[in-house]
Amino acid sequence: MARFISTQSINLELPLRVDHLPDQGAEVRASIMEGAVVAGGFYVVATVARQGVAACVTAPLGTGPNSIQARHSLGREGISVLSREIVGDIGLRIAAIDSEGVRSVITSPGVEVEPDPRDLAGIILRGNDYVFVSLNDLAYPQLAEILTNWIEQLPENLYLAVAGGPLVGEVDLDVMVKVLARADLLTLNKHQADTMRMRLGRGPIAEVLRRYVKPETALVLRDGQNGAIIQESAGQTPRGVPAYPTDLMDTTGAGEAHTGVLLASLIMGSSLEQACARANAAAALAMGRRGYYRIPTASQIDNFLATNPRL
């Protein structure tokens, strides 16, 4: 079976529960949810691993305590680290989750945005590997340059999956266009899609994106509890994949759960529609739980699918 190779940066996150975000210059009280947890790129790759797919990360890890915690978490999930150790530490971000389950994040990056190009160049890739890139990482100029150069040299037969992120509006447009041109699959949530449409052109989002991707590139446009729109290739009619009913309690990790299960399902041979339906179930599981980064397993998703009809 193919490997899943994630380039997405990994950091540590301190989740805080708040009633609402403070106004500018104001203060609100918060409660710590579970202490600092490994986050960033960890969640997607861990979700893939929990579906039974061999998973690896190329993101730099350092010598500090944050990186040590990240290595332990990756090891528990059976995820291989392909990068060398860097002196320093991965960054920290503060996540505030409000009473509606919506999260807002402040990030202070570390060595995860300072990779060594030799680490990527030294990775021995197999023809059936799936490489994963987050557009969020391309908002950091040094990381963007290294990743883009590596992506442009990937063999054509290697599958490249690209996901959006909260920082898509800050990615250099030339960099974004280069990465989109190589993508075999692009997955975005509604906010990310709207942001990219404002930068890339006018018209329906699928039509706008088609100007920048290969004809055979698959598009997955997520819209929370409204499900997702998929288009397998240019010329195909976009079609909806319904969501599963859930009581929204916390959006933390829902997008990552969707992306991880989507890609794991494709690796295991599912069609795009089948993979997206299963990913919708994973997202519903994530949104219907309180707690932080509850990574769904394959059996949990199977049980959910057996008892929950789609909307």
Whether residue 1 is predicted with pLDDT greater than 90 in this model: the reply is: no
Q: Hey, what domains does the chain have and what are their CATH numbers?
A: 4-299 (3.40.1190.20)
Q: Which of 166, 171, 172 lies closest to 189, judged by CA?
A: 166
For residues 259, 163, 112, 89, the Cα torsion angle rounded to the nearest 10 degrees is -30
What's the pLDDT at 249? Answer: 59
For residue 177, give the 3-state DSSP assignment: helix
Alpha-carbon separation of residue 42 from 195, 213, 268, 284, 293 (angstroms): 25, 27, 21, 20, 10
- The reported pTM is 0.93
What's the pLDDT at 128? Answer: 93
Tell me what the pLDDT averaged over the chain comes to: 92
Q: Pick 119 or 178 by higher pLDDT.
A: 178
Whether residue 292 is predicted with pLDDT greater than 60 in this model: the reply is: no
Q: How confident is the model at residue 119 (pLDDT cuts 50, 70, 90)?
A: confident
Rounded CA gap, 257 and 297, in Å? Answer: 10
DSSP secondary structure string for all residues of 232-296: -STTSPPEEE----------TTHHHHHHHHHHHHHHTT--HHHHHHHHHHHHHHHHT--SS--PP
Q: Give the residue-averaged pLDDT of 176-192.
A: 97
pLDDT digits (tens, 9 = 90+) for 72-107: 999 999 999 999 999 999 999 998 988 887 888 899
